[in-house]
Structure 1
Amino acid sequence: MDSVHENEWLMRWREGRIGFHREAAHPALVRYWPRLGVPGDTKVLVPLCGKSLDMRWLAERGHPVLGIELASQAIAQFVAEGEAPASRYRQGDFEVTRQGSVELWCGDFFHFHLPQAAEVGAFYDRAALIALPEATRQRYAFHLAQLMAPGSRGLLVSLTRPDNAGPPFSVEAAEVERLFGANFELVHLDDAEPEPNGFRESVWSLKRRGPY
Protein backbone atom coordinates (compact mmCIF):
# COMPACT_ATOMS: atom_id res chain seq x y z
CA MET A 1 0.00 0.00 0.00
CA ASP A 2 1.46 3.39 -0.96
CA SER A 3 1.78 6.19 1.59
CA VAL A 4 -1.33 8.02 0.36
CA HIS A 5 -3.55 4.99 0.83
CA GLU A 6 -1.80 4.06 4.08
CA ASN A 7 -2.67 7.48 5.49
CA GLU A 8 -6.26 7.19 4.27
CA TRP A 9 -6.59 3.76 5.91
CA LEU A 10 -5.18 4.98 9.23
CA MET A 11 -7.44 8.04 9.14
CA ARG A 12 -10.49 5.85 8.58
CA TRP A 13 -9.73 3.97 11.80
CA ARG A 14 -8.97 7.11 13.75
CA GLU A 15 -12.28 8.64 12.66
CA GLY A 16 -14.30 5.44 12.96
CA ARG A 17 -15.16 5.31 9.25
CA ILE A 18 -15.20 1.52 9.09
CA GLY A 19 -18.43 0.73 7.31
CA PHE A 20 -16.72 -2.31 5.80
CA HIS A 21 -16.58 -3.99 9.23
CA ARG A 22 -19.18 -6.73 9.72
CA GLU A 23 -20.74 -7.57 13.08
CA ALA A 24 -20.78 -11.29 12.29
CA ALA A 25 -18.66 -13.79 10.40
CA HIS A 26 -18.87 -13.38 6.62
CA PRO A 27 -21.45 -15.74 5.06
CA ALA A 28 -18.95 -16.81 2.38
CA LEU A 29 -16.47 -17.87 5.05
CA VAL A 30 -19.10 -19.87 6.92
CA ARG A 31 -20.37 -21.55 3.75
CA TYR A 32 -17.19 -22.22 1.81
CA TRP A 33 -14.32 -22.55 4.26
CA PRO A 34 -15.28 -26.11 5.28
CA ARG A 35 -15.17 -27.11 1.59
CA LEU A 36 -11.47 -26.26 1.33
CA GLY A 37 -10.53 -29.22 3.49
CA VAL A 38 -8.00 -27.27 5.56
CA PRO A 39 -7.01 -29.33 8.65
CA GLY A 40 -8.39 -27.80 11.84
CA ASP A 41 -5.01 -27.10 13.43
CA THR A 42 -3.62 -25.24 10.39
CA LYS A 43 -2.51 -21.65 11.05
CA VAL A 44 -4.45 -19.21 8.86
CA LEU A 45 -2.98 -15.95 7.57
CA VAL A 46 -5.45 -13.03 7.37
CA PRO A 47 -3.83 -10.03 5.60
CA LEU A 48 -5.15 -6.50 6.31
CA CYS A 49 -7.41 -8.07 8.92
CA GLY A 50 -8.88 -5.01 10.66
CA LYS A 51 -10.82 -6.25 13.68
CA SER A 52 -12.69 -8.84 11.65
CA LEU A 53 -14.84 -11.31 13.55
CA ASP A 54 -13.92 -13.81 10.84
CA MET A 55 -10.72 -14.37 12.81
CA ARG A 56 -12.70 -15.42 15.88
CA TRP A 57 -14.82 -17.73 13.72
CA LEU A 58 -11.67 -19.44 12.42
CA ALA A 59 -10.17 -19.65 15.91
CA GLU A 60 -13.35 -21.21 17.29
CA ARG A 61 -12.90 -24.01 14.74
CA GLY A 62 -9.42 -24.81 15.98
CA HIS A 63 -7.30 -22.69 13.66
CA PRO A 64 -4.47 -20.60 15.04
CA VAL A 65 -4.87 -17.25 13.28
CA LEU A 66 -2.22 -14.73 12.25
CA GLY A 67 -3.73 -11.39 11.26
CA ILE A 68 -1.68 -8.52 9.85
CA GLU A 69 -3.01 -4.99 10.25
CA LEU A 70 -1.51 -1.53 9.78
CA ALA A 71 -3.88 0.33 12.12
CA SER A 72 -3.13 -0.13 15.81
CA GLN A 73 -6.66 1.12 16.59
CA ALA A 74 -8.12 -1.94 14.85
CA ILE A 75 -6.01 -4.29 16.94
CA ALA A 76 -6.83 -2.47 20.17
CA GLN A 77 -10.56 -2.66 19.40
CA PHE A 78 -10.37 -6.36 18.52
CA VAL A 79 -8.71 -7.13 21.84
CA ALA A 80 -11.09 -4.89 23.82
CA GLU A 81 -14.09 -6.64 22.29
CA GLY A 82 -12.73 -10.07 23.24
CA GLU A 83 -12.78 -11.75 26.63
CA ALA A 84 -9.40 -13.48 26.91
CA PRO A 85 -6.33 -11.71 28.33
CA ALA A 86 -3.83 -10.43 25.79
CA SER A 87 -0.03 -10.54 25.68
CA ARG A 88 2.30 -8.37 23.61
CA TYR A 89 5.79 -8.77 22.21
CA ARG A 90 7.92 -7.62 19.28
CA GLN A 91 8.77 -9.70 16.23
CA GLY A 92 11.06 -7.87 13.81
CA ASP A 93 9.25 -4.83 12.44
CA PHE A 94 5.98 -5.86 14.09
CA GLU A 95 4.33 -5.30 17.44
CA VAL A 96 2.45 -8.56 18.06
CA THR A 97 -0.65 -8.85 20.24
CA ARG A 98 -1.87 -12.34 21.10
CA GLN A 99 -5.34 -13.09 22.44
CA GLY A 100 -6.23 -16.74 22.72
CA SER A 101 -5.17 -18.41 19.48
CA VAL A 102 -5.27 -15.16 17.47
CA GLU A 103 -2.01 -13.26 16.82
CA LEU A 104 -2.34 -9.71 15.50
CA TRP A 105 0.80 -8.34 13.87
CA CYS A 106 0.73 -4.54 13.65
CA GLY A 107 2.66 -3.35 10.62
CA ASP A 108 3.04 -3.43 6.85
CA PHE A 109 2.02 -6.70 5.17
CA PHE A 110 4.85 -6.27 2.68
CA HIS A 111 7.36 -6.38 5.54
CA PHE A 112 6.08 -9.82 6.58
CA HIS A 113 8.49 -12.39 5.15
CA LEU A 114 8.88 -16.11 4.67
CA PRO A 115 10.65 -17.00 7.95
CA GLN A 116 7.79 -15.35 9.88
CA ALA A 117 5.24 -17.32 7.82
CA ALA A 118 6.86 -20.71 8.43
CA GLU A 119 3.88 -22.07 10.39
CA VAL A 120 1.19 -20.64 8.09
CA GLY A 121 -0.62 -23.22 5.99
CA ALA A 122 -3.74 -21.40 4.73
CA PHE A 123 -5.07 -17.89 4.17
CA TYR A 124 -8.30 -15.93 4.11
CA ASP A 125 -8.74 -12.63 2.27
CA ARG A 126 -12.08 -10.89 2.52
CA ALA A 127 -10.89 -7.27 2.53
CA ALA A 128 -7.18 -7.12 1.62
CA LEU A 129 -7.07 -7.31 -2.17
CA ILE A 130 -10.01 -4.94 -2.61
CA ALA A 131 -8.47 -2.43 -0.18
CA LEU A 132 -5.44 -1.97 -2.42
CA PRO A 133 -5.18 0.35 -5.44
CA GLU A 134 -4.60 -1.27 -8.82
CA ALA A 135 -0.87 -0.46 -8.85
CA THR A 136 -0.35 -2.41 -5.61
CA ARG A 137 -2.51 -5.47 -6.25
CA GLN A 138 0.08 -7.27 -8.39
CA ARG A 139 2.67 -6.82 -5.65
CA TYR A 140 0.19 -8.15 -3.10
CA ALA A 141 -0.65 -11.28 -5.10
CA PHE A 142 3.03 -12.07 -5.67
CA HIS A 143 3.94 -11.49 -2.02
CA LEU A 144 1.08 -13.71 -0.85
CA ALA A 145 2.26 -16.46 -3.20
CA GLN A 146 5.78 -16.20 -1.79
CA LEU A 147 4.46 -16.73 1.74
CA MET A 148 2.40 -19.83 0.98
CA ALA A 149 3.90 -23.30 0.62
CA PRO A 150 2.83 -25.53 -2.30
CA GLY A 151 -0.54 -27.11 -1.54
CA SER A 152 -1.64 -24.32 0.81
CA ARG A 153 -5.26 -23.34 0.37
CA GLY A 154 -7.09 -20.07 0.72
CA LEU A 155 -10.44 -18.36 0.36
CA LEU A 156 -10.70 -15.00 -1.41
CA VAL A 157 -13.66 -12.63 -1.53
CA SER A 158 -13.40 -10.07 -4.32
CA LEU A 159 -15.80 -7.25 -5.17
CA THR A 160 -17.05 -5.31 -8.15
CA ARG A 161 -18.82 -1.95 -8.01
CA PRO A 162 -20.43 0.25 -10.66
CA ASP A 163 -18.12 3.24 -10.16
CA ASN A 164 -14.34 3.66 -10.10
CA ALA A 165 -14.18 4.89 -6.51
CA GLY A 166 -12.64 3.07 -3.58
CA PRO A 167 -11.64 1.61 -1.31
CA PRO A 168 -13.03 -0.93 -1.51
CA PHE A 169 -11.88 -1.08 -5.10
CA SER A 170 -13.56 -2.97 -7.89
CA VAL A 171 -11.61 -6.08 -8.94
CA GLU A 172 -13.11 -7.92 -11.90
CA ALA A 173 -12.89 -11.70 -12.33
CA ALA A 174 -10.40 -11.32 -15.17
CA GLU A 175 -8.06 -9.38 -12.89
CA VAL A 176 -8.32 -12.00 -10.14
CA GLU A 177 -7.36 -14.66 -12.67
CA ARG A 178 -4.50 -12.56 -14.01
CA LEU A 179 -3.14 -11.75 -10.55
CA PHE A 180 -3.29 -15.23 -9.05
CA GLY A 181 -3.47 -17.68 -11.94
CA ALA A 182 0.28 -18.14 -12.36
CA ASN A 183 0.85 -19.26 -8.76
CA PHE A 184 -2.51 -20.64 -7.64
CA GLU A 185 -5.13 -23.04 -8.92
CA LEU A 186 -8.27 -20.91 -8.94
CA VAL A 187 -11.89 -21.99 -8.64
CA HIS A 188 -14.69 -19.41 -8.88
CA LEU A 189 -17.18 -20.58 -6.25
CA ASP A 190 -19.96 -18.02 -6.21
CA ASP A 191 -21.27 -14.57 -7.09
CA ALA A 192 -23.43 -12.95 -4.44
CA GLU A 193 -26.56 -11.00 -5.26
CA PRO A 194 -25.77 -7.31 -5.88
CA GLU A 195 -26.24 -5.03 -2.88
CA PRO A 196 -28.44 -1.91 -3.17
CA ASN A 197 -25.34 0.23 -3.79
CA GLY A 198 -24.32 -1.99 -6.70
CA PHE A 199 -21.50 -3.77 -4.88
CA ARG A 200 -21.26 -7.46 -5.74
CA GLU A 201 -18.96 -9.95 -4.04
CA SER A 202 -17.42 -13.01 -5.66
CA VAL A 203 -15.89 -15.97 -3.84
CA TRP A 204 -12.82 -17.92 -4.94
CA SER A 205 -10.88 -20.89 -3.64
CA LEU A 206 -7.14 -20.94 -4.24
CA LYS A 207 -4.52 -23.66 -3.96
CA ARG A 208 -0.83 -22.80 -4.18
CA ARG A 209 0.76 -24.52 -7.14
CA GLY A 210 3.76 -26.74 -6.54
CA PRO A 211 7.10 -26.67 -8.35
CA TYR A 212 7.00 -27.87 -11.93
Structure 2
Amino acid sequence: MQEDWLKRWQEGRIGFHRDTVHPLLERYWPELQVAQGTKVLVPLCGKTLDMRWLKEHQHPVLGIEMSEQAIEQFVAEGNGDVARYRQAGFGVLRQGSIELWCGDFFHFHVEQAAEIGAFYDRAALIALPEATRQRYAFHLAQLIPPGGKGLLISLTRQDEGGPPFHVEADEVQRLFSPNFTVAHFQDGERGPDGFRESCWALQRRGPGDS
Protein backbone atom coordinates (compact mmCIF):
# COMPACT_ATOMS: atom_id res chain seq x y z
CA MET A 1 0.00 0.00 0.00
CA GLN A 2 2.81 2.41 0.86
CA GLU A 3 4.47 1.86 -2.52
CA ASP A 4 1.20 2.52 -4.36
CA TRP A 5 0.60 5.71 -2.39
CA LEU A 6 4.05 7.09 -3.15
CA LYS A 7 3.70 6.13 -6.80
CA ARG A 8 0.41 8.04 -7.03
CA TRP A 9 2.16 11.23 -5.92
CA GLN A 10 5.12 10.64 -8.20
CA GLU A 11 2.82 10.17 -11.21
CA GLY A 12 0.40 12.96 -10.24
CA ARG A 13 -2.53 10.55 -9.79
CA ILE A 14 -4.03 12.57 -6.95
CA GLY A 15 -7.66 12.91 -7.95
CA PHE A 16 -8.54 12.68 -4.25
CA HIS A 17 -6.90 16.08 -3.65
CA ARG A 18 -9.39 18.96 -3.48
CA ASP A 19 -8.50 22.43 -4.76
CA THR A 20 -10.87 23.95 -2.20
CA VAL A 21 -11.51 23.52 1.51
CA HIS A 22 -13.86 20.64 2.23
CA PRO A 23 -17.41 21.98 2.81
CA LEU A 24 -18.09 19.44 5.57
CA LEU A 25 -15.11 20.79 7.51
CA GLU A 26 -16.40 24.35 7.15
CA ARG A 27 -19.93 23.30 8.09
CA TYR A 28 -19.32 21.01 11.05
CA TRP A 29 -15.97 21.83 12.65
CA PRO A 30 -17.47 24.81 14.53
CA GLU A 31 -20.06 22.46 16.05
CA LEU A 32 -17.31 20.51 17.79
CA GLN A 33 -16.46 23.65 19.80
CA VAL A 34 -12.75 22.88 19.86
CA ALA A 35 -11.03 25.68 21.76
CA GLN A 36 -8.84 28.04 19.76
CA GLY A 37 -5.18 27.19 20.19
CA THR A 38 -5.85 23.43 20.32
CA LYS A 39 -3.37 21.57 18.10
CA VAL A 40 -5.11 19.42 15.48
CA LEU A 41 -3.68 16.14 14.21
CA VAL A 42 -4.30 15.45 10.51
CA PRO A 43 -3.28 11.86 9.64
CA LEU A 44 -2.33 11.02 6.03
CA CYS A 45 -2.72 14.70 5.25
CA GLY A 46 -1.38 14.90 1.70
CA LYS A 47 -1.30 18.58 0.80
CA THR A 48 -4.88 19.33 1.79
CA LEU A 49 -5.95 22.97 1.99
CA ASP A 50 -8.04 21.95 4.99
CA MET A 51 -4.90 22.38 7.10
CA ARG A 52 -4.68 26.04 6.13
CA TRP A 53 -8.35 26.49 7.01
CA LEU A 54 -7.71 25.04 10.47
CA LYS A 55 -4.70 27.33 10.90
CA GLU A 56 -6.81 30.35 9.90
CA HIS A 57 -9.27 29.33 12.61
CA GLN A 58 -6.54 29.55 15.25
CA HIS A 59 -5.50 25.91 15.41
CA PRO A 60 -1.87 24.81 15.19
CA VAL A 61 -1.75 21.80 12.87
CA LEU A 62 0.37 18.64 12.88
CA GLY A 63 0.00 16.71 9.64
CA ILE A 64 1.51 13.26 9.05
CA GLU A 65 2.20 12.20 5.48
CA MET A 66 4.32 9.47 3.92
CA SER A 67 4.96 11.29 0.64
CA GLU A 68 7.78 13.81 0.85
CA GLN A 69 6.59 15.13 -2.51
CA ALA A 70 3.17 16.01 -1.05
CA ILE A 71 4.76 17.88 1.85
CA GLU A 72 7.14 19.80 -0.39
CA GLN A 73 4.26 20.82 -2.66
CA PHE A 74 2.22 22.00 0.33
CA VAL A 75 4.89 24.34 1.64
CA ALA A 76 5.80 25.52 -1.88
CA GLU A 77 2.18 26.55 -2.42
CA GLY A 78 2.06 28.36 0.92
CA ASN A 79 3.60 31.51 2.31
CA GLY A 80 6.34 32.00 4.86
CA ASP A 81 9.71 30.59 5.72
CA VAL A 82 10.09 26.84 6.13
CA ALA A 83 12.09 25.26 8.96
CA ARG A 84 13.39 21.73 8.44
CA TYR A 85 14.56 19.33 11.12
CA ARG A 86 14.35 15.71 12.21
CA GLN A 87 12.50 14.40 15.22
CA ALA A 88 11.82 10.85 16.40
CA GLY A 89 12.77 9.40 13.02
CA PHE A 90 10.57 11.77 11.01
CA GLY A 91 11.63 14.56 8.69
CA VAL A 92 9.67 17.62 9.85
CA LEU A 93 8.85 20.77 7.90
CA ARG A 94 7.32 23.71 9.74
CA GLN A 95 5.67 26.67 8.04
CA GLY A 96 4.11 29.07 10.50
CA SER A 97 1.85 27.10 12.83
CA ILE A 98 1.66 24.07 10.51
CA GLU A 99 4.16 21.27 11.00
CA LEU A 100 4.31 18.33 8.60
CA TRP A 101 5.91 15.06 9.69
CA CYS A 102 7.11 12.86 6.82
CA GLY A 103 6.85 9.19 7.66
CA ASP A 104 4.59 6.31 8.67
CA PHE A 105 1.59 7.31 10.80
CA PHE A 106 1.91 4.08 12.77
CA HIS A 107 5.42 5.10 13.86
CA PHE A 108 4.12 8.34 15.38
CA HIS A 109 3.69 7.72 19.10
CA VAL A 110 2.10 9.36 22.08
CA GLU A 111 5.38 10.92 23.17
CA GLN A 112 5.27 13.10 20.05
CA ALA A 113 1.54 13.77 20.48
CA ALA A 114 1.72 15.50 23.86
CA GLU A 115 0.36 18.82 22.56
CA ILE A 116 -2.39 17.35 20.36
CA GLY A 117 -5.95 17.92 21.53
CA ALA A 118 -8.09 17.26 18.44
CA PHE A 119 -7.98 15.58 15.02
CA TYR A 120 -9.40 15.82 11.52
CA ASP A 121 -9.65 12.80 9.20
CA ARG A 122 -10.95 13.38 5.71
CA ALA A 123 -8.73 10.95 3.80
CA ALA A 124 -6.94 8.63 6.23
CA LEU A 125 -9.45 5.94 7.22
CA ILE A 126 -10.79 5.60 3.68
CA ALA A 127 -7.26 5.35 2.25
CA LEU A 128 -6.60 2.17 4.23
CA PRO A 129 -7.67 -1.36 3.30
CA GLU A 130 -10.06 -3.14 5.63
CA ALA A 131 -7.31 -5.19 7.29
CA THR A 132 -5.53 -2.00 8.41
CA ARG A 133 -8.48 0.12 9.53
CA GLN A 134 -8.81 -1.53 12.96
CA ARG A 135 -5.13 -0.84 13.62
CA TYR A 136 -5.63 2.77 12.53
CA ALA A 137 -8.60 3.35 14.84
CA PHE A 138 -6.72 1.89 17.82
CA HIS A 139 -3.55 3.89 17.10
CA LEU A 140 -5.52 7.12 16.70
CA ALA A 141 -7.14 6.51 20.08
CA GLN A 142 -3.68 6.27 21.69
CA LEU A 143 -2.76 9.72 20.35
CA ILE A 144 -5.88 11.66 21.38
CA PRO A 145 -6.29 12.61 25.05
CA PRO A 146 -9.53 12.01 26.97
CA GLY A 147 -12.06 14.62 25.90
CA GLY A 148 -10.24 15.30 22.63
CA LYS A 149 -12.60 15.82 19.69
CA GLY A 150 -12.36 15.03 16.03
CA LEU A 151 -14.18 15.28 12.72
CA LEU A 152 -14.21 12.16 10.54
CA ILE A 153 -15.37 11.95 6.94
CA SER A 154 -16.06 8.43 5.69
CA LEU A 155 -17.11 7.31 2.23
CA THR A 156 -19.22 4.66 0.56
CA ARG A 157 -18.96 3.77 -3.10
CA GLN A 158 -20.99 1.68 -5.53
CA ASP A 159 -18.07 -0.45 -6.69
CA GLU A 160 -15.41 -2.38 -4.81
CA GLY A 161 -12.41 -0.33 -5.91
CA GLY A 162 -10.13 1.82 -3.85
CA PRO A 163 -8.56 3.75 -2.48
CA PRO A 164 -10.63 5.52 -1.40
CA PHE A 165 -12.24 2.45 0.12
CA HIS A 166 -15.87 1.78 0.93
CA VAL A 167 -16.52 2.16 4.69
CA GLU A 168 -20.07 1.58 5.92
CA ALA A 169 -21.60 3.42 8.88
CA ASP A 170 -21.67 0.27 10.99
CA GLU A 171 -17.93 -0.17 10.45
CA VAL A 172 -17.29 3.40 11.66
CA GLN A 173 -19.26 2.60 14.80
CA ARG A 174 -17.51 -0.73 15.31
CA LEU A 175 -14.02 0.72 14.84
CA PHE A 176 -14.33 3.81 16.98
CA SER A 177 -17.03 3.27 19.60
CA PRO A 178 -14.75 1.28 21.95
CA ASN A 179 -12.65 4.41 22.56
CA PHE A 180 -14.77 7.33 21.32
CA THR A 181 -18.31 8.56 21.54
CA VAL A 182 -19.50 8.63 17.93
CA ALA A 183 -22.20 10.96 16.59
CA HIS A 184 -23.39 11.09 12.98
CA PHE A 185 -23.71 14.55 11.44
CA GLN A 186 -24.71 14.03 7.82
CA ASP A 187 -24.73 11.79 4.75
CA GLY A 188 -24.01 13.69 1.57
CA GLU A 189 -25.53 13.11 -1.85
CA ARG A 190 -24.03 10.37 -3.98
CA GLY A 191 -21.88 11.97 -6.67
CA PRO A 192 -21.54 11.05 -10.34
CA ASP A 193 -18.49 8.95 -9.43
CA GLY A 194 -20.69 6.81 -7.18
CA PHE A 195 -19.11 8.16 -3.98
CA ARG A 196 -21.10 9.40 -0.99
CA GLU A 197 -19.41 11.00 2.00
CA SER A 198 -20.61 10.87 5.59
CA CYS A 199 -19.53 13.17 8.42
CA TRP A 200 -19.02 12.13 12.05
CA ALA A 201 -18.14 13.78 15.34
CA LEU A 202 -15.91 11.78 17.67
CA GLN A 203 -14.84 12.46 21.25
CA ARG A 204 -12.21 10.43 23.06
CA ARG A 205 -13.57 8.62 26.09
CA GLY A 206 -11.81 8.95 29.41
CA PRO A 207 -11.51 6.57 32.36
CA GLY A 208 -14.95 5.72 33.66
CA ASP A 209 -16.81 7.07 30.62
CA SER A 210 -19.60 4.81 29.51
* Correspondence for 1:72: 68
Note the residue ranges of structure 1 that are not aligned, 5 or more in a row: none
* Correspondence for 1:151: 147
Match of 2:91, SS? strand
> For residue 109 of structure 1, what is the amino acid of its counterpart?
F
The answer on 1:163 being equivalent to 2:159 is yes
CA distance in structure 1 between the aligned counterparts of 2:199 and 2:205, rounded to whole angstroms: 19
* Correspondence for 1:41: 37
Query: Under a length normalisation based on structure 1, what TM-score does the superposition of the two structures give?
Result: 0.98
CA distance in structure 2 between the aligned counterparts of 1:92 and 1:193, rounded to whole angstroms: 42
| 1:32 to partner: Cα distance | 0.2
> For residue 187 of structure 2, what is the amino acid of its counterpart?
D
Alignment of 1:1-212 (within 5 A): 5-212=1-208
CA distance in structure 1 between the aligned counterparts of 2:34 and 2:121, rounded to whole angstroms: 15
> For residue 183 of structure 1, what is the amino acid of its counterpart?
N
| 1:177 to partner: Cα distance | 0.3
Q: Deviations over 1:95-151 (max 9, x none)?
A: 000001100000000000001000000000000000000000000000000111100
Match of 1:31, SS? helix
Match of 2:141, SS? helix
Q: Deviations over 1:167-199 (max 9, x none)?
A: 000000000000001100000000001100110
| 1:83 to partner: Cα distance | 1.3
**Identity within the alignment, %:** 70
Match of 1:121, SS? strand
Q: Deviations over 1:29-58 (max 9, x none)?
A: 000000000001000000000000000000
Match of 2:146, SS? coil
RMSD of aligned residue pairs (Cα, Å): 0.4
CA distance in structure 2 between the aligned counterparts of 1:15 and 1:79, rounded to whole angstroms: 19
Count, aligned residues: 208
Note the residue ranges of structure 2 that are not aligned, 5 or more in a row: none
Runs of 4+ more than 3 Å apart: none
CA distance in structure 1 between the aligned counterparts of 2:42 and 2:164, rounded to whole angstroms: 17
| 1:81 to partner: Cα distance | 0.2
> For residue 17 of structure 2, what is the amino acid of its counterpart?
H
Query: Under a length normalisation based on structure 2, what TM-score does the superposition of the two structures give?
Result: 0.98
